[in-house]
Amino acid sequence: MLKLFRDNLRHLSWVLWGVILVFILLIFVDVGAFQPKDAEGGPNAPAAWAGDIVVRFSEYESAYRRLESYQRQLFQGNIPDAFQEQLKVQALQDAFDFKLMLAEAKDMGLKISNSELRKSILEIPAFLDENGKFIGEEKYKNLLARSGFRTAQEFENSQREQLLYIKLDSILRDSAFVSDKAVEEAFRNQSERAKIRYVLLPIRQLADSVTIEEADLASYFETHKEEYRLPEQRRIAYLVVDNSVLRAKMEVSPEDIEAYYQAHSEDYQQEEQVRARHILIKTDERTQAEADAELEKARQRIVGGEPFETVARELSEDPGSAASGGDLRYFPRGRMVPQFEEAAFGAKVGELVGPVHTPFGAHLLEVTARRESGLRPLDEVRAQVRHKILTERVSEEGNRLAGELLARLKDAGSTSEEELQSIADESETTKLVVTDPFGQQDTIAGIGRSPEFSSAAFALKPGELSELVKLPRGWAVLTLKEVLEPRIPELSVVQAQVRDAVRIQKQRDLARQKLEQARQSIDAGESFDEVAKGLDLEVKESGELSRGGALPDLGAASGKVIEAALSMEEGAVGGPYEYPQGETLVQVTERQHMDPADFEAQKEATRERLEAQEYQRLRASVLNQRKIDLNVQYASSIVADVAEDDQVR
């Protein structure tokens, strides 16, 4: 095992140097930023845990420092905000993965000997003098103390864990074997190319060419009965307190609106906003100077009296706003790219500004209105305030009435439809509804898809009342009317669906038959174009295709057709192949095979890539197996950083 470990160190030097780097960082870096709250203990207190897997604050910090150092090198000192925000989450993920890998190593019986530990320590430059000799026990312990380790044993335990991780990692890498055959197959797959021409025969074109007899329906249904099996269904009677009736009966006075507005003024604050319109000239296929010249012509037309929106509809290349005269409506700071935002918020209303250069191109813009930050005027939000008051009042009154309704039903002691209707008739806000049979996953008439309603309905026993169930319409109380067991329905019940299925099958069979005849004609000497013309079909041509590519016309069938094309030679015809909307026939027009010389030149690079992929697959398999049912808990001081994302799982 030790020999295997040494043989694989060349693959794992980055891991060892990562350990060394973290050690050096800990000597010079302030560790206060990751200290737990006083109530949570010191650096060795748990930051997060799941079962017997514990990540301590010191380990969490080490993972963070390692990631941060890597990111600073990657981005030359300036880590983008999007990456910076994820560092703590990723650090905790890495720390958990490290602990899970250690658990796997221990379960495999792997250990680190004292000699292996000693050798690794003597490879850390900080512990060597100018002659490459060990600095001595006293200096060694002092250096560890400056690095935050309370004892040498604490550091050596940490180092032993790092080495154990490396030993398991080396085994996984050594297990990531890829055969010569797999290397050649992978290289062939990535290097082979083809171009095709093809025709599409949509089955909808054959709708008038097929006839459906009653015998066809019976035969199809007999063969496909299980496809039409109905799950358990239920009929439910429910009483609902109708919010729309409550809302219609309620009144909101001007005084109510004024009082609510004043009491909730924080809800009606607004940021500074501008409303602007623009003309965009893209610079994808023209120079910036050419785009600026186009905008200058537009400016002169607007200054000369033409409406801005007219010029924008004609010239703007922004597909999202050109049709509306370039109008971008109101927007706050932070929504547009910085160059555009600076120009818009710096402009006066009615002022033409530009050209403004952004990654999208060159813009001529005009600010048409401005909203200052602060409390929005009551007249502007009056309808919103009224709606809010009504919503709160309806919710409060609906809750009260629903509670009374449930109590009344329990006191009545009967769930008969007559009793339910009698109770409903006592109040215009309460309605009785009896559903048609529905399955647990079905959409319910008048309700839609409601997991809460369906769960309550399928938990009921005869004669029982549900607790209150919240529906979009209002609170409801359910009772069970009928249970229909799983069954295969009579053909008459599903005849419409069966007829559709038979029609589609017949149209597809006819399409396939026509293209099979076309292929036979090609085999007999006709050209691809001639048979396409005879079927009144357009011949389409693809670009260069490779495995993993796509043909938009074929959707999910692309892979099958491309694979077939790559198995044929130039000039060969294949098909018909099924695609979602019909059938297709293809002819290969160009073929590029694997070049043996290229393969020999890139064989080892391909092997390394495949071995790296296999290693990642093996490592992920180990981690995923250990993460099954992992219930991660967090110390309160880091909940805001990671718990909401819960990415450790």
Q: Is residue 219 part of a domain?
A: no
317 and 247 share one domain: no
Alpha helices in 192-333 (DSSP H): 214-223, 243-249, 254-263, 288-303, 308-315
Q: Is residue 618 part of a domain?
A: no
Q: Is residue 24 part of a domain?
A: yes
Q: Is residue 290 part of a domain?
A: yes
320 and 450 share one domain: no
Name, in order, each residue with C-beta under 8 angstroms of 85's C-beta and a sequence gap of 6 or more. none
413 and 559 share one domain: no
pLDDT at 15: 43
Q: How far is the C-alpha of 600 from the C-alpha of 578, rounded, in Å?
A: 38
Q: Write the CATH number for 334.
A: 3.10.50.40
Q: Write the CATH number for 43.
A: 1.10.4030.10
Average pLDDT, the chain: 86
115 and 141 share one domain: yes
244 and 299 share one domain: no
- Domain boundary (436, 458, 484) is at 484
Q: Cα dist. 135→125, 140, 151, 153, 386 in Å? A: 10, 6, 17, 17, 78
Per-residue pLDDT averaged across 336-346, rounded? 91
Among 48-52, 80-84, 317-321, the minimum mean pLDDT is found in: 80-84
Number of compact structural domains in the chain? 4
64-98 pLDDT tens trace: 888 888 888 888 777 777 777 788 888 888 888 88
Find the domain containing 141 and state its range. 2-177+630-643
36 and 148 share one domain: yes
Q: Write the CATH number for 524.
A: 3.10.50
Burial 8-26 (b: 16+ CB within 10 A, else e): beebbeeebebbeebbebb
Q: How far is the C-alpha of 554 from the C-alpha of 526, rounded, in Å?
A: 25
513-546 pLDDT tens trace: 999 999 999 999 999 999 999 999 999 998 888 8
Name, in order, each residue with C-beta under 8 angstroms of 297's C-beta and a sequence gap of 6 or more. none
110 and 6 share one domain: yes
Find residue 541's DSSP bridge partners. Answer: 197
Question: What letter does residue 333 receive in the DSSP assignment?
Answer: T
Q: Quick one: which H or E segment has residue 193?
A: strand 193-202
505 and 441 share one domain: no
Q: Which has more confidence, 173 or 643?
A: 173
Per-residue pLDDT averaged across 16-41, rounded? 43
Q: Is residue 625 part of a domain?
A: no
Q: Is residue 615 part of a domain?
A: no
395-426 pLDDT tens trace: 999 999 999 999 988 888 888 888 899 999 98
pLDDT at 549: 84
Q: Is residue 207 part of a domain?
A: yes
539-579 pLDDT tens trace: 999 888 888 888 888 888 888 999 899 989 999 999 899 99
pLDDT at 6: 33
Per-residue pLDDT averaged across 45-63, rounded? 81
Among 257-261, 336-340, 487-491, 634-638, the minimum mean pLDDT is found in: 634-638
pLDDT at 466: 93
Q: Is residue 182 part of a domain?
A: no
421 and 341 share one domain: no
Question: What letter does residue 134 receive in the DSSP assignment?
Answer: B
Range with the largest mean pLDDT of 30-34, 85-89, 509-513:
509-513
37 and 90 share one domain: yes
- Domain boundary (484, 515, 542) is at 484
**Using omega within 30 degrees of 0 as the cis cutoff, is the peptide bond preceding 36 cis?**
no
The dihedrals phi and psi of 430, each to the nearest 5 degrees, come to -110, 130
343 and 394 share one domain: no
558 and 474 share one domain: no
Whether 495 shows a pLDDT value over 90: the answer reads yes
Q: How much is the pTM?
A: 0.54
Whether 41 shows a pLDDT value over 80: the answer reads no
Q: How confident is the model at residue 109 (pLDDT cuts 50, 70, 90)?
A: very high
- Domain boundary (562, 577, 592) is at 592
Find residue 358's DSSP bridge partners. Answer: 361
